[in-house]
Amino acid sequence: MSEALIAKYGEARLPRYTSYPTAPAFAESIGPDHYAPALEEAADAGPVSIYLHIPFCRAMCWYCGCHTTITLQDAPIRNYLEVMSREIMLVQKAAGGRIPVKSIHFGGGTPTILAPNEFSLLMERLRSTFRFEQDASVAVEIDPRTLTSDMIDVLHDNGIDRVSLGVQSFDPVVQKAINRIQTFNETKDAVTALRSKGVKSTNFDLVYGLPFQTVASCLETARMALELQPERFAVFGYAHVPSFKKHQRLIDDATLPNADQRNAQAEAIAAELVSAGYIRIGLDHFALPQDGLAIASAKGKLHRNFQGYTTDDCENVIGLGASAISRLSSGYYQNHVALGRYSDLVSTGNLPTAKGYLLSKEDKLRGTIIERLMCDFEADVGKLSRAAGYEDSFLLERNERLSSLIADGVVTVEDGRLIVIQDARFMVRAVASAFDVYFNASRRTFSKAA
């Protein structure tokens, strides 16, 4: 069935649905004047999560789809941190006080590109500006190739309890093709040192669909990674969009696997991880049974945000830094991507909001259905619609894409409850898109669903 479905639906470019609506729907008409009152409202709505974007790396990985800047100098990083500290104060001012914080996530780029003392100063600024919950969790994305012992000590001193390490592939041929040479021992040494300093949860990012990658090389990478027993894996498909990310033009299209090969690689990795005792979580995450992600999934309490699958149940997420997106109860608010524009606005005392989206009641319903599909592979559309004040069949009737998926045996619907069948779960993004009113309305390019 997979080959036929890939042939029919795989040509569509689909979002990963880490938000709804997705970023292409954001409008420049939504700016600081909308974001400021939304922050004030969020301050009274309970604990929030904070995401900090550190958009710097020492070298460009050619597969990368993130907003990042290459620098061999430290001055641009220091300047950026000064601006970010000012943004933190602007957020506090708009919120009208110290917002309670339940979770912190440092993403990038390479967050550990910061000097150890700079990281400590940034954490100090956060703790003095916001009100950390007693059990607040702090996570950091790490490049094992540049992680130093001094930085590991600082991570420990600042209470970092979760880390995510980029692995992608241990195949030297693939590594050369993506300009990321990273040995197994570098990764092992980083994990060993981090655990010795009390890090409780380690995630590995693996990527399939890379140049010269095969099922065999994917399996070899998975087996090597399993030797280190991370608590979690995130397994992503490489999104080749050279028109959007110009450095990806350095990757030869002819070396990339086709849709069938990508699907075979993904499923081979999944089978290897599951056979090793990991629980498959949603579309592309895996966790040991005792890990919080697996427990949340089993209880139907899994969530999805811009970092992927998460146990974070905060309604509000405040994004700090260039390109960062805040998700508040009223909508989405994204900072300017360009470092210069971001810095200029913050330095003159302005929130650096570039665009956003104000959520309607219907948007929230569609977003909830999409999140449940992405997390649980099912959604009680009727029940959720009633709870939102709509008729049971509101989003089911006259839904041509959903009707096609039902006819193809991808999903079943009974009494308003939609279930993605076991053998077609790799099509869950296509199912989610049936509830996306913006699907096909934008020409923006996304990664392939298959």
Has residue 144 been placed in a domain?
yes
Q: What is the CATH classification number for the domain harbouring 241?
A: 3.80.30.20
Whole-number Å distance between alpha carbons of 301 and 288: 17
Q: Give which of 192, 212, 211, 217 is closest to 202, Cα–Cα.
A: 192
> Which residue in this structure is represented by tokens 């498909």?
237
Whole-number Å distance between alpha carbons of 408 and 424: 10
Has residue 67 been placed in a domain?
yes
4 band by pLDDT with thresholds 50, 70 and 90: confident
> How many angstroms separate the first and last alpha carbons of the chain?
13
Same domain, 422 and 400: yes
Q: Give which of 115, 249, 228 is closest to 167, Cα–Cα.
A: 228
Instruction: Kindly list the distances between the CA atom of residue 191 and the CA atoms of 22, 130, 310, in Å, as whole numbers in the listed order.
Output: 34, 30, 21
Of the three residues 320, 351, 374, the one that is the final residue of a domain is 320
Same domain, 300 and 416: no
Whole-number Å distance between alpha carbons of 126 and 84: 10
Q: Does residue 12 carry a pLDDT above 70? A: no
Same domain, 274 and 366: no
Same domain, 178 and 230: yes
pLDDT in tens, 374-430: 999 999 999 999 999 999 999 999 999 999 999 999 999 999 999 999 989 989 999
Q: What is the pLDDT of residue 440?
A: 63
Same domain, 9 and 43: no
Q: Which pair of structure tokens corresponds to residue 272?
A: 């290897």
Quote the pTM value. 0.93
| Cβ atoms within 10 Å of 119's Cβ, excluding its own | 24
To the nearest 10 degrees (0 to 180), the angle between helices 215-226 and 259-275 is: 30
Q: What is the pLDDT of residue 11?
A: 46
Q: What is the CATH classification number for the domain harbouring 2?
A: 1.10.10.920
In this prediction, residues 143-152 reach a mean pLDDT of 96
Q: Give which of 294, 351, 345 is closest to 319, Cα–Cα.
A: 351
Please give the biggest Cα pair distance in the chain: 60
441 band by pLDDT with thresholds 50, 70 and 90: low
Instruction: Give how far the C-alpha of residue 412 lies from the chain's centroid of Cα atoms, to the nearest Å.
Output: 28
Q: Which domain range does residue 398 map to?
A: 1-20+360-450
Domain count, the chain: 2
Same domain, 265 and 375: no
| Buried-state track 209-219, b at ≥16 Cβ within 10 A, e below 16 | bbbbbbbebbe
pLDDT in tens, 224-267: 999 999 999 999 999 999 998 999 999 999 999 998 899 899 99
Question: Residues 103, 146: contact at Cβ < 8 Å?
Answer: no
Instruction: Give how far the C-alpha of residue 117 lies from the chain's centroid of Cα atoms, to the nearest Å.
Output: 27
Percent of the chain scoring above 70 in pLDDT = 95
Same domain, 7 and 47: no
